[in-house]
Amino acid sequence: MRLGVCGMVPQDFQTITLQHLQAISALGLTGAAFHGVGEQLFDVQMSECEKVRTVFAQAGMDLPQFGIAFGECLFDYDIEVCAHVIRKIGCGIEVARELNAHTCLIRTGSLNPAGSYSPCKENLLPESKARLIKTLKQVAAKAELEGVTVVIETHALTIMDSPETNKEVIDAVGSDRMGVVMDYVNHFQSMSQVYNSTERLNHIFDYMGPISFVAHCKDICVKSGLVLHIDEEVPGEGELDMVTALQRWHDLYPNGYMLLEHLGNDQYPHAAANVQRICVEAGIEIH
């Protein structure tokens, strides 16, 4: 497998320098991922993408994932909203192509106006899933045209709330250019699943593994409170059977990227060292 990071670079990807990427390389990582703000992507020039490609090439660094940041819902009731976000994603796919990104990440959004990862009962209606699939088919058509692989960030709080739903939706879209992110942490829904993580991880990988093109490398912790609080944790510092997560990914994609994410820059050295140690002890090659 390969190990990279989504972070440690400026929010404006056009300002990424060789020094940013060398700092990532110094951690033994070979990939750096970043996001672009949806509305701003319409103004990105090919020459700007070429500059970023050159810096990555100079650093010997891969771009495993280019994410498109947007707030719209892909299954909004308003067809004009859906049409606009499809155009925005289409532009992002073109930018991903010009950047030589391995994948282009999108999210589904939510009918809850509070945000893409805010729960909403209407997200779970069959007609919402039908609208989502209709939109995703249009996105997939653009991805096929541009030769770009699109991955969807899924989560227990979203319309794509389980490994089973993820497989159902991707099967319905029916495109080799569309899959999901193997973000296994996002699909733990109970304490019993967390405390029996080997079984849950294998279930997640059984369903999502064949339709995943990039993975996010995190751990889980359960925090105190009168309701359930399952939070992300630095890999190797939480409750998960990280060996199973890393081994399952390596077995599926020996050249596929796992990305560290959602940490402060000061935490990435520790996170990278933990994953590298776990892999050495388990005999999993990182290259």
State yes or no: pLDDT of 4 exceeds 90.
yes
Task: Provide the CATH number for the domain around residue 32.
Answer: 3.20.20.150
Residue 263 counted as domain residue? yes
Residue 199 counted as domain residue? yes
Per-residue model confidence (pLDDT) at position 91: 96
State yes or no: pLDDT of 213 exceeds 90.
yes
174: left (phi over 0), alpha (psi -120 to 50) or beta: left
**pLDDT confidence bin for 65, thresholds 50/70/90:** very high
Q: What's the rounded Cα separation, in Å, for the pair 241 and 244?
A: 6
Which range marks the domain in which residue 48 is found? Answer: 2-282
Q: How many domains does the chain have?
A: 1
Contact 234, 271 (CB under 8 A): yes
136-189: pLDDT as tens digits: 999 999 999 999 999 999 999 999 999 999 999 999 999 999 999 999 999 999
State yes or no: pLDDT of 205 exceeds 90.
yes
Q: pTM here?
A: 0.96
Residue 179 counted as domain residue? yes
Residue 77 counted as domain residue? yes
**pLDDT confidence bin for 39, thresholds 50/70/90:** confident
Of the candidates 83, 160, 79, which has an alpha carbon nearest to the alpha carbon of residue 116? 160
73-95: pLDDT as tens digits: 999 999 999 999 999 999 999 99
Residue 10 counted as domain residue? yes
Per-residue model confidence (pLDDT) at position 38: 79
Residue 156 counted as domain residue? yes
Per-residue model confidence (pLDDT) at position 12: 93
Residue 287 counted as domain residue? no
- How many percent of the chain have pLDDT more than 70? 100
Give pairs for 50-57: CB < 8 Å, separation 24+.
50/98, 51/14, 52/13, 52/14, 52/16, 52/99, 53/98, 53/99, 53/100, 55/16, 55/17, 55/18, 55/21, 56/21, 56/32, 56/100
6-17: pLDDT as tens digits: 999 999 999 999
97-119: pLDDT as tens digits: 999 999 999 999 999 999 999 99
